[in-house]
Amino acid sequence: MPKLSEYVEMAANEYLQETGQDELDARWVAEFFQDGGVQDDYPRQDLVAFSAMVLNALTKKSERAGKQTRFQLDKIVHFVRQLRKP
């Protein structure tokens, strides 16, 4: 049986792959909760609490992606500036 944190990561990854969005759809997470086995493996787990954990994981992934994008853009700008120096 996977850990609850593994289910959260699986849900966040799957949601990002399917939708490309970082705003969690309530219907989607409810389906994952039921069909993904979370409800079976963790019958006392609350759907709302699980949704909050998935949303938190999505937010972290989005922030990391933004940081990585800014870092790569900074590298490109620095490289272009080096090329323009006489």
Model confidence over 19-76: pLDDT tens digits? 999 899 999 999 999 999 999 999 999 999 999 999 999 999 999 999 999 999 999 9
Q: Tell me how far apart the terminal alpha carbons of the chain are, to the nearest angstrom.
A: 62
Contact 50, 8 (CB under 8 A): yes
User: pTM (2 decimals)?
Assistant: 0.84
Side-chain half-sphere exposure of 4, counting CA atoms within 13 A: 14
Burial level of 48, CB count in 10 A (0-12/13-18/19+)?
A: exposed
What confidence score (pLDDT) does residue 84 get?
87
